[in-house]
Structure 1
Amino acid sequence: MIDKFSEFEIIRRHFVPLSSGARGAENLKDDVSILDISPNSVPVVSVDTMVGGIHFFLDDPPAHLAKKLLRVNLSDLISSGAKPVGYFLSISLPEGVGNQWITDFADGLKSEQDLQKILLYGGDTTSTPGPISLSITAFGEVPSKLIVRRSSARLGDFVYVTGTIGAASVGLYLIKKLGMKVAMENASFAVSRYREPPLLLDVAKLLRGRANAAIDISDGLLADAGHICSASEVAMEIDFNSLPLSPEMHLMLENQPKLKNIIPSGGDDYEILFCASEENGQNITEDCKTIGIEVSKIGRVIPGQCEVKIVDGDGKRMLFETMGWEHF
């Protein structure tokens, strides 16, 4: 059992307040919710699950987990051009997880959902003999003719990415190697980026009608670019030297060149990779800059058999130990 509180007491104390104002959620007193979508828009839905010991460390602060859980899920909606509206939460807690952990987790959700202007619409709360399991089904809306899919990249499109690449995966590598405290002392940006993905909410509307294809980078640049290639039946060539790296990452590469293997394949960036014509890409880049988000042109869509080639400054293909994160 989870402390002395019942499932319904946990819901009443911690999760009902997160649904306040959610039309159709009925204060979480029903097993279903009614979703209200704007006229001429379609719902867009995404599911992601985080399991303790696999996707996060068991001693991670619960408020940080809540923030990461929401941002990880909403990045899928954002890459489709959808405005996030709300989410459903499924949470499985093992014996020994106390009320303070749940309180801190719910507070983290509240802080993040206020920032993202979304609400909780329902979910499920259970106990488990295994590690903590957290799953969110997020939903949003987008005008039906403006949704961005993975399957519409065009030959000649340029490839762009928001923010920086590789820091999160290097941060995770250092945490596992050195421990959290030492890793933070040596690479604070990388560790922080692993624990807290970027907030890219306003990017969604900037992609509509201008990006031909897009995806969030969760499994790694190589893997997720490959997903666009497979869906669109094209290939990509990406210039490693054009990848946007943080100043900290540039310095680390000088001292540890082997980190190059992690940057394009490690995952956890949760930046947006998109394909667009040069004109549209430039317009998206300029508009993103006005909201404080940098965009870099890193490659081009080319003919080929659904593959991603990363080349060095001399145009020579680079080879990497792994293509990206895989669950199985």
Structure 2
Amino acid sequence: MGRSTRSPKMPDARQPAADEFSEIERLFRPLTGGVAGAFDLLDDAAVVPQRPGFDLVVTKDAIVGGVHFPEGERPDLIARKLVRVNLSDLAAKAAEPFGCFLAVAWPKAFGPTERETFAAGLAQDLRTFGVALLGGDTVSTPGPLTASLTALGWVAEGAMVRRAGAEPGNLVAVSGTIGDGGLGLAAVRGEIQDAGGWLADRYRLPTPRLDLRDILQRHATAAADVSDGLVADAGHVARASGVRLSLNLDRLPLSLAGSSWLAGQADRVLGLIRLATGGDDYEVVATFAQTPPRGFTVIGEISAGEGVEVRAAGRVLTLSDRGWSHV
């Protein structure tokens, strides 16, 4: 894994510098899966082979303690969520994942046991999704745990589904159910009841919608993953495509847990807004020229113009918060 800005590198300020390389060999080399271009993580770089007839899709997401996961979260769950949120980006591009690069900054509280647990979680999900670790970097930090993954995927040449591509007359649809991620965070915080911990699991371990790859390639005109909130991510599609996007929150597909929560809200419209702006769902919002295939729920339409219009209960809503902002 690569060099840091200081030499030698120290993944933990309490340990000798030489330990980093043995730690990489022990914890991360097995995650390469023997891919030749990873060079057993002994080099400062990797080689990504060409695949004739395919484009290489590259995405990168980072997570920070206290921002993207609660303080005290289990290290293996942190690593698994890191993998999944990155693969969600590839899923929305209709790409097939194959490799990744990891950068992680260990806080002082993250000793050998915590790092081993993190690596075990990483290994579990890289194996589950068939992804090889190709390289990266480990450093120490006085701040919270910070980790970043760069994920690589293949898509047929010219076939990547972009945010740009939606046209007037297209239908807006979303996969799965919406609102569970935001409710899951509330459940983790103890703010709402969560029988069986289902909502918390939806927040901690979202499922990247890699199963939608063929549908998106064949039918979608544009797509984005729902990470910052449905309204916000639909807005990214509208902006990139140069169109106006209308959403009807009364059409939101809800899980049993989401429906139950909404039924207990004094104001249904405010509840729908919370579900549509909460984020962390990692579903796919996409546009289609015709009625989308099974697995997607139509929730709006595209017209000429710009921006996002949100409706519920027969009226247009004015939203002060459309989703998570990183600034």
Whether 2:94 is the aligned partner of 1:89: answer no
Q: CA deviation at 1:313?
A: 4.1
Aligned to 2:5: none
Q: CA deviation at 1:127?
A: 0.5
Aligned to 2:231: 222
Residue pair 1:76, 1:215 contacting (<8 A) in 2 also: yes
Aligned to 1:289: none
**Whole-angstrom distance in 2 between the partners of 1:175 and 1:251:** 17
Evaluate the alpha carbon distance shift between residue 313 and residue 187 of structure 1 in structure 2; reply closer, same or farther with a 3 A threshold: farther
Residue pair 2:91, 2:208 contacting (<8 A) in 1 also: no
Q: CA deviation at 1:207?
A: 1.1
**Whole-angstrom distance in 2 between the partners of 1:221 and 1:168:** 11
**Whole-angstrom distance in 2 between the partners of 1:222 and 1:147:** 23
Aligned to 1:261: 273
Deviations 1:74-122 (A, max 9, x none): 1111111111111000000011212121111111111111111110000
Deviations 1:144-182 (A, max 9, x none): 12111111101111111111101111222343353xxxx
TM-score of the pair, normalised by structure 1? 0.90
Whether 2:270 is the aligned partner of 1:270: answer no
Gaps of 5+ in 2: 1-11
Identity of matched residues, %: 37
**Whole-angstrom distance in 1 between the partners of 2:218 and 2:257:** 35
**Whole-angstrom distance in 1 between the partners of 2:114 and 2:318:** 43
Partner amino acid, structure 2, of 1:268: D
More displaced, 169-178 or 203-212? Answer: 169-178
Residue pair 2:94, 2:210 contacting (<8 A) in 1 also: no
Residue pair 1:170, 1:190 contacting (<8 A) in 2 also: yes
Whether 2:250 is the aligned partner of 1:241: answer yes
**Whole-angstrom distance in 1 between the partners of 2:133 and 2:210:** 17
Residue pair 1:149, 1:213 contacting (<8 A) in 2 also: yes
Q: CA deviation at 1:231?
A: 0.6
Q: CA deviation at 1:264?
A: 1.1
Q: CA deviation at 1:124?
A: 0.2
Residue pair 1:37, 1:141 contacting (<8 A) in 2 also: no
Whether 2:301 is the aligned partner of 1:300: answer yes
Q: Tell me which of 166, 182, 190 is aligned to 2:199.
A: 190
Whether 2:16 is the aligned partner of 1:7: answer no
More displaced, 227-236 or 5-14? Answer: 5-14
Residue pair 2:62, 2:147 contacting (<8 A) in 1 also: yes
Partner amino acid, structure 1, of 2:62: T
Matched residues, number: 311
**Whole-angstrom distance in 1 between the partners of 2:34 and 2:215:** 27
Evaluate the alpha carbon distance shift between residue 37 and residue 207 of structure 1 in structure 2; reply closer, same or farther with a 3 A threshold: farther
Q: CA deviation at 1:309?
A: 1.5
**Whole-angstrom distance in 2 between the partners of 1:149 and 1:174:** 33
Partner amino acid, structure 2, of 1:85: F
Q: Tell me which of 154, 158, 162 is aligned to 1:141.
A: 154
Q: CA deviation at 1:199?
A: 3.4
Q: Tell me which of 58, 77, 82 is aligned to 1:69.
A: 82
Secondary structure, aligned partner of 1:317 = strand
**Whole-angstrom distance in 2 between the partners of 1:234 and 1:132:** 39
**Whole-angstrom distance in 2 between the partners of 1:214 and 1:132:** 31
Aligned to 1:56: 69
Gaps of 5+ in 1: 286-293
Evaluate the alpha carbon distance shift between residue 242 and residue 187 of structure 1 in structure 2; reply closer, same or farther with a 3 A threshold: farther
Alignment of 1:92-241 (within 5 A): 92-176=105-189, 178=191, 183=192, 185-186=194-195, 188-241=197-250
**Whole-angstrom distance in 2 between the partners of 1:61 and 1:2:** 21
